[in-house]
């Protein structure tokens, strides 16, 4: 009896897989030298399939449920083993459990930039990356084409392969979508859906379903990004006066980060003002010609003049309203400000602003000592000197 009990214990009577991982696609039931008992129980849980393989041939496939293994519900295996009239003895077969749930957050990326023809920028080299999701659609095809006899097949083993396939396919498909590069960032969801529809059929050949493709970022060349930024800035500015102020502010920021220090600020500011003035003159030429025509210039009093007759100069307009004084101060080699007159008076009283301090304001060609600026003369004349040390 003891020998029979030992042999009986080696027979497998329950076949199941309790998956405690989040990345296993295929799991081979560890039969080793044990045999499957006749009328054994097969338990297949939701999100699983069970595939029986006999001597290298795929036999019966089971979906979720509990089965009693007999010739009635194992028709293919019974045929392969020649069980024409049923069987009573134990048998050997490989059992592979296949996870049919969805596997998410798998990463993809284009292996290098793809060239797209854009109506505004011409040929543009674009890169993209994101995530995708898959699930096993046909367990038999997946085992035959991908997993083979691997007893524990994980997403890590297939991810690099699929990452390369999806990256290459996206690199081919993106130029065919004909989406302007300036619209790619705002249409990442639509782009992902279009890519999924175009790429999904190639995944079915591996027994997989491509359930989702997300485009998380699109990379454009730096020169294209600069052109987009400049065009947006120009549209937002709308006039040359504001453009000049925009360029001047950029020159100040560049000077602060320049290895030459604040001494280079005056050069950058002068160039910004000069460029702004030249562009303003060019764009304002049409307006100047228009207002010099008789009857159009609001400062011209008198009737219509004959063509070719000399015209008087336009009447001067009212002077601009005075603006509050705004002055930048160099403190410890760093640009600070701008400060108005009360703040500058307080700094002079505290000794933070002296006649030798470098300052700059709108209209100055470069940084200069505070004592040479007319607006600051009264500040140093009224400032009380600090108390001498005891």
List, in order of start, the domains of the chain with CATH numbers.
Answer: 2-99 (no CATH), 103-223 (3.30.479.30), 327-382 (3.30.1490)
Q: What is the pLDDT of residue 117?
A: 86
Q: What is the pLDDT of residue 294?
A: 47
Model-level pTM? 0.53
Q: What is the pLDDT of residue 225?
A: 74
**Closest Cα partner for 363 from 264, 284, 262, 248?**
248
CA distance 12 to 35: 6
CA distance 143 to 150: 9
Are the CB atoms for 52 and 40 separated by under 8 Å?
A: no
CA distance 29 to 51: 10
Instruction: Return averaged pLDDT per consecutive 10 residues of the chain, 390 residues in all.
Output: 48 86 91 79 95 90 93 84 75 91 90 84 86 93 86 85 79 82 83 87 90 88 75 61 68 65 51 50 47 45 48 64 77 85 85 87 85 81 60
Q: How many CA atoms within 13 Å lie on the side-chain side of 156?
A: 5
Helices (H), the chain: 2-9, 75-81, 139-142, 155-177, 188-204, 222-237, 240-256, 265-291, 341-349, 377-382
Chain-centre distance of CA 273, in angstroms?
36
Number of helices and strands in the chain (H, E): 10, 16
CA distance 193 to 181: 17
**Closest Cα partner for 93 from 152, 143, 29?**
29
Q: What is the pLDDT of residue 383?
A: 52
């Amino acid at each position: 009896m003891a020998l029979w009990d030992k042999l009986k214990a080696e027979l497998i009577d329950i076949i199941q897989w309790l998956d405690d991982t989040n990345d296993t696609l295929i799991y081979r039931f560890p039969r080793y030298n044990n045999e499957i008992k006749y009328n054994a129980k097969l338990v297949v849980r939701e999100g699983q399939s069970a595939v029986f393989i006999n001597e290298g041939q795929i036999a019966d496939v089971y979906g979720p449920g509990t089965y009693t293994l007999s010739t009635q519900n194992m028709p293919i295996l019974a045929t392969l083993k020649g069980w024409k009239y049923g069987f009573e003895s134990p048998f050997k077969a490989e059992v592979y459990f296949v996870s049919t749930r969805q596997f998410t957050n798998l990463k993809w990326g284009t292996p290098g930039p793809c060239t797209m023809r854009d109506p505004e920028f011409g040929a543009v080299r674009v890169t993209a990356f994101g995530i995708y999701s898959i699930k096993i659609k046909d367990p038999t095809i997946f085992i035959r084409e991908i997993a083979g006899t691997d007893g524990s097949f994980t997403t890590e083993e297939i991810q690099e392969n699929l990452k390369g396939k999806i990256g290459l396919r996206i690199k081919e498909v993106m130029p065919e979508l004909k989406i302007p590069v300036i619209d790619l960032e705002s249409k990442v969801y639509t782009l992902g859906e279009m890519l999924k529809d175009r790429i999904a059929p190639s995944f079915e050949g591996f027994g997989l379903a491509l359930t989702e493709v997300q485009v998380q970022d699109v990379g454009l060349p730096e020169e294209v990004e600069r052109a987009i930024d400049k065009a947006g800035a120009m549209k937002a500015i709308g006039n040359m006066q504001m453009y000049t102020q925009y360029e001047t502010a950029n020159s100040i920021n560049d000077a602060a980060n320049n290895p030459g220090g604040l001494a280079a600020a005056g050069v950058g500011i002068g160039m910004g003002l000069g460029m702004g003035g030249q562009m303003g003159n060019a764009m304002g030429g049409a307006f100047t010609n228009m207002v010099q025509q008789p009857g159009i210039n609001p400062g011209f009093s008198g009737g219509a003049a004959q063509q070719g007759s000399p015209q008087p100069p336009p009447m001067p307009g009212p002077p601009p309203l005075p603006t509050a004084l705004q002055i930048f101060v160099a403190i410890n080699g760093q640009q600070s400000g701008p400060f108005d007159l009360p703040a500058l008076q307080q700094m002079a009283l505290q000794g933070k602003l002296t006649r030798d301090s470098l300052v700059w304001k709108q209209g100055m060609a470069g940084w200069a000592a505070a004592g040479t600026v007319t607006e600051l003369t009264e500040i140093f004349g009224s400032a009380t000197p600090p108390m001498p040390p005891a």
